[in-house]
Amino acid sequence: MHMGLSQISPDSINILIDNSILKGDTLSYDAIRAHYFIRNMYPDFLNYSLLMANKFKYNKACYDVYFILTHSRWGLQVANLDPTTQKIALSYLFKAYKLGSSDAVWEIKNLKEQNILLTDSIIYQQCW
């Protein structure tokens, strides 16, 4: 029997987190991601995304770091971020792109169409 995300016990969540960040288990990461994202708990998930992105180079986690930094409940978008946070967010977006994230491909295209993604960006030059 498959448990719904709302039925996952705190112990099970901890096991999934451990499997994700200690072993690089992407299925566990995806389950935890769904658990946090369904509840709009993006900021609470940032540390797990950073660990999976940096330690295991997981493309979904790289994109999640970008997404969390740029899509807050206050409606912040990449163009409205301070320069340091914007650089960090874009670096994870480009990492996700380089690792094959279809979400990152779409997002980069979208940013370019809106003239948000500047072609003279150091990060952009490194990734294209």
Q: Provide the residue-wise pLDDT of the chain in tens; the chain has 128 residues.
A: 344 555 678 899 999 999 999 999 999 999 999 999 999 888 899 999 999 999 999 999 999 999 999 986 655 677 788 888 888 999 999 999 999 999 999 998 888 887 776 554 555 555 54
CA distance 53 to 1: 31
Q: What is the per-residue DSSP string for 68-120? A: HHH--TT---GGGS-HHHHHHHHHHHHHHHHTT-HHHHHHHHHHHHTT-S-TT
pLDDT of residue 61: 98
Instruction: Report whether 124 contacts 117 (CB < 8 A).
Output: yes
CA distance 127 to 123: 6
CA distance 1 to 123: 46
pLDDT of residue 83: 85
Q: What are the boundaries of each domain within the chain?
A: 42-127
CA distance 18 to 12: 10
